[in-house]
Each structure stands twice: as structure tokens, then as C-alpha cells.
Amino acid sequence: MIRTSQVEILKTAVRELDAARENGTKAEMERCLSVVQAAYRNASDDEVNAAIEW
């Protein structure tokens, strides 16, 4: 079962990481990376694939 909320969390976390990589500080980038990693750990394979496809 794909949880839409988990897909949205993962997509948002990746967008924030991209923005931090372009404009942010190292600390901000590390914070965003940890959020992406946590979202990835909590997502199923189907949810990760759905986030990639959207």
C-alpha cells in the first residue's frame, strides 16, 4: 500500500535538500540530508518509486 503522505514527505525533503545544496550552508544541507534519509528509511520501495516517478 502506498501512503501518499509518505511520498509527499520524501518529495518535499528531496526538494529542500536540492535547495540547500544550491543556496544553503553546510549545516542546512546536512540537516536536509538527515531528513531525506529518515523519510527514505520510513518509506516502502513502492513509495520511493512513486516519489521518483512524480
Q: Are 54 and 4 in contact (CB under 8 A)?
A: no
DSSP conformation class of 44 = -
What residues have CB less than 8 Å from 12, skipping those under 6 apart? none
- pTM for the structure as a whole: 0.81
Task: Convert the pLDDT of each residue in 4-52 to its tens digit.
Answer: 898 999 999 999 999 999 998 899 999 999 999 999 999 999 999 988 8
